[in-house]
Structure formats: C-alpha cells, structure tokens
C-alpha cells in the first residue's frame, strides 16, 4: 500500500531542538507540504469549524511533530507491563478503532522526536522490575509501523531492546512496510504480532490499512527474519458466513507462512465490542457504517460497554480456538476476550 504522506505538518517549537524534527522539517519543506509551528502537541485545533466527518478526516491527514514530556509509563495489561509511546494515533481509519474513540476530537497523528529520552525512561522502568523480565507494548497508542518510513524510530527501539537482558518489546501492526526492520539484530527480544481479520472485516471496516495479502506477506518476512511472531485476530465478528471467512483466513495464513509449525507462534483473540461513547462517535464519523451497534442485541458488561451475548461469545471462542489448534497445533492461543 501507499505509505502515509500528510497533507499538513505542525511542528512544536521545542521539537526543533531534535535532529529528527529538523530532518522532517527539511523533507516536508522540500516536498511542498505546508508546515506550521505550534506551542504544544496537546493543543491542536483545526483552522475552522468542521462537522465530525470533516474533523476526523482533517485529523487523519495532519502530522504533528512533538516532544513526549510524560515519561512515566502507564501499565498495559494484559498485553505487557508498560506502554511505550513514541507516537499517538495512526493514519488509518478503522471504523471500530478504540484509539480513535479514546482520542475523541484529538485523533490527529503525533510522532515524538525525543527518542533518546524515551529510551532512558525504558531503562528506568526495567530497573524497577528488580531482575524480572519487563515487557513494553509499542502499539498501545498508535501503529508504529505505519510511520516508520518517516521516523525510523521502531528500528532504533528494536536495536535498543536487543541489548536489554531484562527488557522485551511487543509490537502490533496492520501495516506491511517492514522491510527496513528485517536485517536488524533483534536478539529475539521483540515479538511482532500482525492484526488480521476476515476479508469481509478488512474490506468494510479497516480503511487505509494494508490488505490481508500484504500483511501475511509482511508476517512471513518477519518470521523469516527470526522474530518471534504472533497474530491478533480482532475484532472477531459474527455475520453471515463468518465461519467460512475465518477458515479461509487461517487456510491462507498456514499456506503462506514460512514456518506455520513454529513452536513460538501466538494468537490473541478479541471479539467485537463497543461502548455508548464509541457508538456515538462511529455513527457520527461513518453514518453508513455496517458495524452492528444495536445495544439490544449485545450483552451489557457494565460501564456502558457491550459485547456479544455469552452464547455467541462462546461460539466464537470455541470455533476459532478449535480451528487454530487444527491448523497450527504448535501455536498457543494466549487469550480470548
């Protein structure tokens, strides 16, 4: 797929003290992309009043270059011990995206240029573990692979973790531009997970992401490069023909992976869910969405959150777990939620 290029760039004044911001400023000036300068990456406003659709599109076409000031990492259970944030939001427009929901009207893409300081903070958090292995999730607030062609940060982070006895990195992506990561000495300290779904879900809800074919090709390259590999199947959806579609997905995956029998393959299974807030945002941003958001047909988990009713959830879990065990007997299904 075509790599992301912003329509406009906003640079925080302080960011220009860092080499990456200076290089990006030059690159965007040379390519004629409009640049503006701002005080804080946390206070970005569109230049005029916009309706929710226009504002969402404006956010997704804007790149903000800033400095990450909060270096006290938040917990990231169940995926990892801590969130490692080097960017916020992403250029894709998945209709169900929980991140776009959490960010609300601030869904613009931010990249942080003070990587050395962020990695120093990683070291501090590893030390807090007093000898335990500490894991860091690089994709809790963005898709770092989607902006790697601009930042090169993920490559640097992977190299950094390769040297950490007690630190491990976890990455999730729906993007396929992994070629710059293949020759890195990663020391098996970074686990890549590709977020996959049935072709129906990708086509209808995962706009501006890599295709299924591209993701599987990228996953295969990552496996060939020796990285520990996993898959997140999410959000799992029930619709007419879902079983056949997920079967097709697993068949294709098995046929195309370099080593489908690898013993360190993992699967994480997450069913479709929404909240009252996300339903409102989705319906405003995607008025013709095919997402099923009918509260009456879902199970209310409390706090305004909805998931499939227990019987349907069990059906999804059983079917996917059984098929994964059949197709990838060596793999581990880590959880279903």
Which SS3 state, helix, strand or coil, does residue 160 take? helix
Contacts of 124 (CB under 8 A, 6+ apart): none
CB 107 within 8 A of CB 56: yes
Taking CB under 6 A as the binding criterion, the range among 36-44, 79-87, 90-98, 214-222 that sits at the site for ligand SF4 is: 90-98
Please state the closest distance from residue 90 (CB atom) to ligand SF4, in A.
3
Rounded CA-CA distance 15/93 in Å is 27
Q: Give residues with Cβ within 8 angstroms of 314, minimum separation 6.
A: none
Does 90 engage in binding with ligand SF4 (CB under 6 A)? yes
Alpha helices in 31-114 (DSSP H): 52-60, 98-103
Stretch touching ligand SF4 by CB under 6 A, among 20-28, 86-94, 130-138, 256-264: 86-94
Report the residue from 92, 121, 147, 282 that binds ligand SF4 according to the rule CB under 6 A.
Answer: 92
Parallel/antiparallel/unpaired status of strands 167-173 and 190-196: parallel
The number of angstroms, rounded, from the C-alpha of 65 to the middle of its chain's C-alpha atoms is 19
d(CA 207, CA 199): 12
Q: 202-231: which residues touch ligand SF4 (CB under 6 A)?
A: 209
Rounded-to-integer distance, Cα 220 and Cα 216, Å: 6
Residue 267 tokens, joined:
């699967």
Q: Among residues 206, 99, 102, 90, which one has the least CA distance to residue 148?
A: 90
Q: Which stretch binds ligand SF4 (CB under 6 A): 44-52, 96-104, 113-121, 180-188?
A: 96-104
Name the residue nearer to ligand SF4 (CB basis): 189 or 215: 215
94/138 with CB nearer ligand SF4: 94
- Given the complex with ligand SF4, which of 94 and 233 has the nearer CB atom? 94
Residue with smaller CB distance to ligand SF4, 92 or 201: 92
The DSSP element (H or E) to which 93 belongs, if any, is strand 93-94
Nearer to ligand SF4, 108 or 328 (CB): 108
Among 99, 247, 262, 270, binds ligand SF4 (CB under 6 A): 99
Site mask for ligand SF4 (CB under 6 A), range 126-155, x = bound: -----------------x------------
b vs e for 80-104, b when ≥16 Cβ sit within 10 Å of the residue's Cβ? bbbbbbbbbbbbbbbbbbebbbebe
Name the one range near ligand SF4 by CB under 6 A: 32-40, 92-100, 306-314, 315-323: 92-100
Residue with tokens 């993992």: 266
Which of 10, 64, 65, 97 contacts ligand SF4 by CB under 6 A? Answer: 97
Q: Nearer Cβ to ligand SF4, position 114 or 139? A: 139
Candidate residues 65, 84, 85, 94; the one interacting with ligand SF4 per rule CB under 6 A:
94
Q: How far is the CB of 138 from ligand SF4 (least distance, A)?
A: 12
Size of the site for ligand SF4 (CB under 6 A): 9
Interacting residue ranges for ligand SF4, rule: CB under 6 A: 90, 92, 94, 97, 99-100, 143, 174, 209
């Amino acid at each position: 797929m075509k790599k992301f290029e912003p329509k406009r760039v906003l640079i925080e004044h302080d960011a220009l003290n860092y080499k990456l911001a200076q290089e990006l400023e030059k690159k965007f000036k040379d390519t004629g992309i409009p640049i503006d300068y701002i005080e804080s990456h946390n206070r970005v406003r569109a230049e005029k009043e916009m309706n929710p659709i226009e504002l969402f599109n404006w956010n997704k076409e804007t790149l903000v270059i800033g400095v990450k000031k909060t270096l006290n990492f938040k917990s990231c259970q169940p995926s990892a011990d801590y969130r490692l944030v080097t960017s916020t939001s992403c250029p894709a427009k998945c209709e169900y995206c929980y991140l776009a929901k959490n960010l609300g009207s601030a869904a613009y893409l931010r990249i942080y240029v003070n990587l050395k300081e962020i990695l120093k903070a990683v070291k501090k958090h590893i030390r807090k573990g007093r000898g335990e292995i500490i894991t860091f999730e690089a994709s809790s607030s963005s898709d770092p692979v989607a902006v790697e062609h601009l930042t090169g940060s993920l490559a640097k982070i992977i190299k950094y973790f390769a040297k950490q006895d007690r630190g491990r990195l976890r990455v999730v992506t729906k993007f396929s531009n992994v070629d710059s990561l293949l020759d890195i000495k990663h020391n098996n300290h970074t686990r890549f997970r590709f977020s996959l779904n049935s072709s129906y879900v990708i086509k209808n809800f995962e706009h501006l992401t890599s295709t299924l074919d591209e993701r599987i090709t990228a996953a295969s390259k990552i496996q060939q490069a020796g990285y520990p590999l996993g898959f997140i199947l999410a959000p799992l959806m029930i619709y007419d023909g879902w079983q056949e579609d997920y079967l097709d997905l697993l068949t294709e995956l098995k046929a195309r992976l370099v080593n489908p029998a690898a013993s360190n393959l993992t699967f994480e299974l997450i069913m479709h869910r929404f909240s009252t807030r996300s339903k409102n945002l989705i319906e405003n941003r995607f008025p013709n969405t095919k997402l099923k958001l009918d509260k009456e047909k879902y199970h209310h988990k409390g706090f305004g959150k909805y998931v499939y009713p227990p019987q349907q959830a069990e059906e999804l879990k059983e079917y996917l777990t059984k098929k994964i065990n059949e197709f990838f007997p060596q793999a581990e299904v880590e959880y279903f939620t």
